[in-house]
Amino acid sequence: MKYVIFIPDGSSDLPIDELDGKTPLQVAETPNIDKLAQNGFGGFTNNVPDGYTPGSDVANMSIFGYNPADYYTGRGPLEAGSVGIDTKPTDVIFRCNTITEKDDTMEDFNAGHITSEEAAVLMDALNKHFTEKYPGFKGKFYAGISYRHLFVYSCDDEDDADILANLKTVPPHDISGENLTEYTTWDDDLAVKMRDIMYEAQEVLKDHEVNRARISEGKAPANMVWLWGQGLTPALPDFKETYGLTGAVITGVDLLKGIGIFANLDVIDVPGATGFFDTDYKAKGEYGIDALKTHDVLFIHIEAPDEAGHAQLIDEKVKAIERIDEFIVGPIIDSLAGQDFKAAILPDHPTPISLGTHTRDDVPLVVYASDKTGDECTSFDEEGVKTGSIEKQEGYKLLSRMINEF
């Protein structure tokens, strides 16, 4: 039996006036996904336990079959795992966005989707500045993809690490246009040090040649960094030992690669997988077909709908969903014809166009089993799954339910 879980990140939404009161999932042309829905089972699930911020970290950990309440330690640590950063128990790993600051507000949480090459130069400049100015500096910046980077701070002991790991930080995409000082009013000395690092980084970046060039080209400068999503290194149970199945992950996002690495899944790098609108959908589909030849389970994640939700771009969100259907879902399902397989498709969380950020609302879920007759589900969207029969349960139970119930 093969299992494939399609994750169109942030694809569920609220009704949109410009779409005549429908959602992007409802208006997108998705014949392959609809076939799964009409021959499968529909319902809702929720991947974000009570008390957790509805981030892709928590939500996707659930989809991968791990209860965040047991294993989640922060977003930064998961991303650190994807790039091979060795950390100690006293290291606190932050997600570090390059942002555009203006008048102490969050003008752009991704600095105009700065290129990875430009951002790497800026990360090097920050490391050079802090290590030269402060001998023995305990932090280090690690360049990632586009605006998504990491900052690791080595604390003196585990007590300090726990304090810093539990500091309340805010995802930058949740505070677009808002005052930054309001979200950094911390009292603890270590927390104040993190705030000072962010604002001192601004002094380094604002006149950097990379940003001067970006401004001259009419692009948003990456003139500040924002630290958030921090935590300590997690320890996930081995996926194969837990489920008795071999697994693989395809994604363009370091966060999900990190979950895969900590779970001892095979992380498959796909050329052209960018985590943005320009990701190579066709290549993802082709690599997914190959992965299922040698693995029992495939998690295939596509970030583009979520990016469109954050950018509040209706057309881009609809296009992303349609491309997922055409280049990923269709080819992979066709490749499994004649085999016993089960497929699920679900967002990790909603990213409504009207809000531009994540919510923790229930998400639509479709599960297809090649050897079962489905229910009354009509389509994969917020309305079509209402006639389905899947009982809503915690999101982390999905994989076990696919194996044992469908």
Residue 119: per-residue pLDDT: 97
Predicted local distance difference test score (pLDDT) of residue 77 = 84
Rounded CA separation 120/146 (Å)? 9
What per-residue confidence (pLDDT) applies to 86? 80
Q: What are the residues whose beta carbons fall under 8 Å from the beta carbon of 176, sequence distance 6 or more? A: 106, 107, 108, 109, 356, 357
Q: Nearest 5°: phi and psi at 218? A: 80, 20
Q: Taking the CA of residue 305 as centre, how many other CA atoms within 13 Å lie in the half-sphere pointing to its CB? A: 31
Cβ-based burial of 300 (10 A; exposed 0-12, middle 13-18, buried ≥19): buried
How confident is the model at residue 20, as a pLDDT?
97
Enumerate the H helices of 9-112 as residue ranges: 24-27, 31-38, 56-63, 68-71, 75-82
- What confidence score (pLDDT) does residue 73 get? 84
Q: Mean pLDDT, to the nearest integer, of 195-220?
A: 96
* pLDDT tens digits along 32-84: 999 999 999 999 999 999 989 898 999 999 999 999 999 988 888 888 887 77
- The per-residue pLDDT of the chain, averaged, comes to 95
Distance CA 255, CA 249 (A): 11
Is the model's pLDDT at 214 over the cut of 80?
A: yes
How many beta carbons lie within 10 A of that of residue 354, not counting itself?
12
- Residues 153 and 194 sit within 8 Å (Cβ to Cβ): yes
Reported as a pLDDT band with limits 50, 70 and 90, residue 103 is: very high
Enumerate domains of the chain plus CATH numbers: 2-68+236-404 (3.40.720.10), 88-231 (no CATH)
Whole-number pLDDT of residue 234: 84
Note the pLDDT of residue 249: 98
Tokens 């495939």: give the residue.
Answer: 298
Half-sphere exposure for 86 (CA within 13 Å, toward CB): 0
Given this model, what pLDDT does residue 79 score?
80
Q: Could you tell me whether strands 297-302 and 247-250 are parallel, antiparallel, or unpaired per DSSP bridges? A: parallel
Q: Model confidence at 89, in pLDDT bands (50, 70, 90)?
A: confident
pLDDT at 81: 80
For residue 46, what are the contacts with CB-CB under 8 A and spacing of at least 6?
360, 361, 362, 363, 392, 394, 395
- Confidence class of residue 12 from pLDDT cuts 50, 70 and 90? very high
pTM of the model: 0.79
298-311: average pLDDT = 96
Give the model's pLDDT for residue 263. 95
Question: Residue 364 carries which side chain, given as an amino acid letter?
Answer: P
Residue 76: the pLDDT is 83
Q: What is the pLDDT of residues 226-242, one digit of tens each?
A: 999 999 988 899 999 99
pLDDT value, residue 348:
98
The candidate with the shortest Cα–Cα distance to 287, out of 301, 276, 275, is 301
Percentage, residues of the chain above pLDDT 90: 90
* pLDDT above 80 (res 378): yes
Q: Mean pLDDT, to the nearest integer, of 111-125? A: 96
Strand partners, 98: 225
| CA pair distance 366, 363, nearest whole angstrom | 10
The confidence score (pLDDT) of residue 376 equals 96
pLDDT at 125 over 90: yes
Contact (Cβ atoms closer than 8 angstroms) between residue 377 and residue 42: yes
